[in-house]
Structure 1
Amino acid sequence: MTKTYTAFSGVKNVASGPLDQVVSTIKDQLDSDDWPQVLIFDDATGRQIDVDYHGPINPKAESGEQTEAAQPRRVGRPKLGVVSGEVTLLPRHWEWLKSQPGGASVTLRKLVEDARRGGAQQAKASQEATYHFMTSMAGNFPHYEEALRELYAGNQSAFHQHIEDWAVDVKKYMKELSSTAFTEE
């Protein structure tokens, strides 16, 4: 799955998509428009990233990702994306894992995937992404602290009420980031 990013100039959303596309859009506009400041956010984490606009566009270098050739070779099944690691369990845990269909590795992968899909973890990640973006973009907006409290309290309607008067693009992006932060009311 391709990581996506969103760029803001002031409070206006100016680009969204894969990093190379966002950086290209910004580079094309920097010379022709008078953008006061451009901030780029990782859509998965809400964290701001830094990009060097000088020279060629190289999103892997800018985002800190290593190219496939630069990554060290690891033990496992690389074509399947499997990486080996160490797990320390009690003997009774190993016995239970061995008795499961598919063996220990299959069972552990299923348990991890089930846990990752869990609503609590997804809600927490959504809250954190919203928090990081809010801190960067809306820290001095009216009702910032109240909105933040409602985000962590899980009160969606109060959260949306506190951000109602904020800039349209900022509010829209925050609603996207927080879409899984709240349990059903």
Structure 2
Amino acid sequence: MSQHQPQTFTAFEGQRRLVSGPLHEVALAVKRAEQRASNGIAIFSDATGLAVDLDLRGSDHEIVARLQRTTPPNPAAPQETATPAPPRGRGRPKLGVVAREVTLLPRHWEWLNAQPGGASVSLRKLVEAARRANGDTDRGRVARDAAYHFMSAMAGNLPGFEEATRALFADERRRFASLIAAWPDDIRDHVVRLAFGGDPVDPANVNR
């Protein structure tokens, strides 16, 4: 069973990182900071890198209750849906499978049916193998997309943005780190954290 990581958000006041954490904590911190902030405050999803708009009216309790009703699912986490099943009597327990139509060529069905366990078991094994094989690639793509979205909002006018974008999607990590090295510290560090899951501000510390 997959473990879903809690969704986190980061708020920036101008070019300075204000706070990171669960959405309700960030929202309350932003509400308090707005009373003394000299620059605009923006809140970004760490999962997507996109800015989010929050309704911060009312008491802390009202804000938290409103967020609990409207917080979207984490797009970076694997999504699983459960289909309610009718009560079952004695016998083999239901495994939580969901029946859906699959369209294959006749030769595909012939091969699947000839495998131990039949077509259903073979398809499940193939899907799990593909998930394991492509997991790192998929996570890397999501991370780079999140970094790009945040960069576009916060660093689009900074020097080297276009070249840094090309290096990001080419996975040229050393070149990417060197191109953003002169950016404001908090923006640079957050971009690297979104893209690569760390905080290697020195190009020599970035692999590849």
Q: TM-score, normalised by structure 2?
A: 0.69
Q: Distance in 2 between matches of 1:147 and 1:91?
A: 48
SS at match of 1:178: helix
The superposition leaves residues 116-158 of structure 1 with CA deviations (integer Å, 9 ceiling, x where unpaired) of 51x3322222211111010000001111111112112221111
Aligned counterpart for 1:28 among listed residues 32, 48, 58? 32
Structure showing greater radius of gyration is 2
Deviation at 1:113, TM superposition (A): 2.8
Q: Distance in 1 between matches of 2:124 and 2:148?
A: 35
> Which residue in the other structure is 2:166 paired with?
149
Q: Percent identity over the alignment?
A: 35
Deviation at 1:100, TM superposition (A): 4.9
The superposition leaves residues 155-182 of structure 1 with CA deviations (integer Å, 9 ceiling, x where unpaired) of 11111111111111111111111116xx
Deviation at 1:5, TM superposition (A): 0.9
> Could you list the runs of 5+ residues in structure 1 that have no partner in the other structure?
66-72
SS at match of 2:30: helix
The verdict on how the C-alpha distance between 1:41 and 1:116 changes in structure 2, with shifts beyond 3 A counting, is: farther
The verdict on how the C-alpha distance between 1:100 and 1:9 changes in structure 2, with shifts beyond 3 A counting, is: farther
Q: Which amino acid aligns with 1:155?
A: E
> Which residue in the other structure is 2:105 paired with?
90
Maintained 8 Å contact 2:13/2:37:
no
> Which residue in the other structure is 2:53 paired with?
50
Q: Which amino acid aligns with 1:36?
A: N
SS at match of 1:161: helix
SS at match of 2:196: coil
Q: TM-score, normalised by structure 1?
A: 0.77
The verdict on how the C-alpha distance between 1:52 and 1:62 changes in structure 2, with shifts beyond 3 A counting, is: farther
Q: Which amino acid aligns with 2:71?
A: S
Deviation at 1:184, TM superposition (A): 5.2
Aligned counterpart for 2:188 among listed residues 158, 171, 182? 171
Aligned residues: 173
Equivalent residues in 2 for 1:1-185, closer than 5 Å: 1=4, 2-31=6-35, 33-55=36-58, 56-57=62-63, 58-64=66-72, 75-76=83-84, 85-97=100-112, 99-100=115-116, 103-104=121-122, 106-107=124-125, 109-111=127-129, 113-117=131-135, 119-179=136-196, 185=208
The verdict on how the C-alpha distance between 1:162 and 1:86 changes in structure 2, with shifts beyond 3 A counting, is: same
The superposition leaves residues 43-92 of structure 1 with CA deviations (integer Å, 9 ceiling, x where unpaired) of 11111111111132222444345xxxxxxx97356xx8865544323344
The verdict on how the C-alpha distance between 1:62 and 1:109 changes in structure 2, with shifts beyond 3 A counting, is: same
Deviation at 1:17, TM superposition (A): 1.1
Maintained 8 Å contact 1:46/1:130:
yes
